[in-house]
Chain A
Amino acid sequence: EVQLVQSGAEVKKPGATVKISCTFSGSSFTDYYIHWVHQAPGKGLEWMGRVDPEDGETVFAENFQDRVSLTADASIDTAYMELSSLRSEDTATYYCATDFRYGDYGLDYWGQGTLVIVSS
């Protein structure tokens, strides 16, 4: 079964950059797109964007396209989300999730989430 394991919690100062990893196992990495989802404390889910591990193609939500970089390294089955120019409003849990390339199943597997705290 597919498993996604994310890197640990981060504490960053305003203006800094954070990079979170999402390591995939249990199937073929390139059979899936990797999505990233933002959840502020006590708030709902917000889609950030998606990366295709096969060719690196990305699609972003408008709210995040200026400060987010999504990449994937198929040689080590790992996707990354980098968020720059951090501000207090970026304090949130960030999830990676898979979307099967050959079907329309929604987001079927999720990482455990990575908490990012932005504080001076």
Chain B
Amino acid sequence: DIQMTQSPPSLSASVGDRVTITCRASQDISTFLAWYQQKPGKAPNLLIYAASTLQSGVPSRFSGSGSGTDFTLTISGLQPEDFATYYCHKYNRAPWAFGQGTKVEIK
């Protein structure tokens, strides 16, 4: 099975910072990669699919890149509402799998 390794597990940042989260697949998954944001007590929310396509309604400060095995989520200009946990997710074929998550905290 394909494993998803996300890093870092957590990070501290300030409002306005540029934040980068990486996700590595153990095998080539082309661009079948999504990113989700989850706030405490809430369901995850889809931010990006197909590695780089912004879901409708998601602010343009979020962007995704990569293909194959290496992927990146970037938040350009962190806002107070962006403090949350972020997950990558591969969906090329079963079994689908999530990364371990990255918690973005206020510095």
Q: Contact residues of A with B, CB < 8 Å? A: 35, 37, 44-47, 50, 59-62, 95, 97, 99, 104-108, 110-113
Task: Please state if B100 and A44 are interface contacts (CB–CB under 8 Å).
Answer: yes
Task: Please state if B55 and A45 are interface contacts (CB–CB under 8 Å).
Answer: no
A93 CA / B94 CA spacing, docked (Å): 22
Task: Please state if B87 and A45 are interface contacts (CB–CB under 8 Å).
Answer: yes
19 CB < 8 A contacts A-B: A37-B98, A45-B44, A45-B87, A45-B89, A45-B98, A45-B101, A97-B44, A104-B49, A105-B49, A105-B50, A106-B46, A106-B49, A107-B36, A107-B89, A108-B46, A110-B43, A111-B43, A112-B43, A113-B43
Residues of A within 8 A of B89 (CB): 45, 106-107
* Apart from the given pairs A106-B34, A107-B44, A112-B43, 9 other A-B contacts in the complex at a CB distance below 8 Å: A44-B98, A44-B100, A44-B101, A59-B95, A60-B95, A61-B96, A62-B95, A106-B89, A110-B44
Task: Please state if B43 and A95 are interface contacts (CB–CB under 8 Å).
Answer: yes
How many residues of chain B have a CB within 8 Å of chain A? 23
Q: How many A-B residue pairs have CB under 8 A?
A: 64
A112 CA / B32 CA spacing, docked (Å): 25
CB distance from B105 to the nearest CB of A (A): 15
Residues of B within 8 A of A61 (CB): 95-96
- Name A105's closest neighbour in chain B (CB-CB): B49
Task: Please state if B43 and A47 are interface contacts (CB–CB under 8 Å).
Answer: no
Task: Please state if A50 and B94 are interface contacts (CB–CB under 8 Å).
Answer: yes
Q: In chain B between 92 and 107, which residues have their CB closer than 8 angstroms to a CB of chain A?
A: 94-101
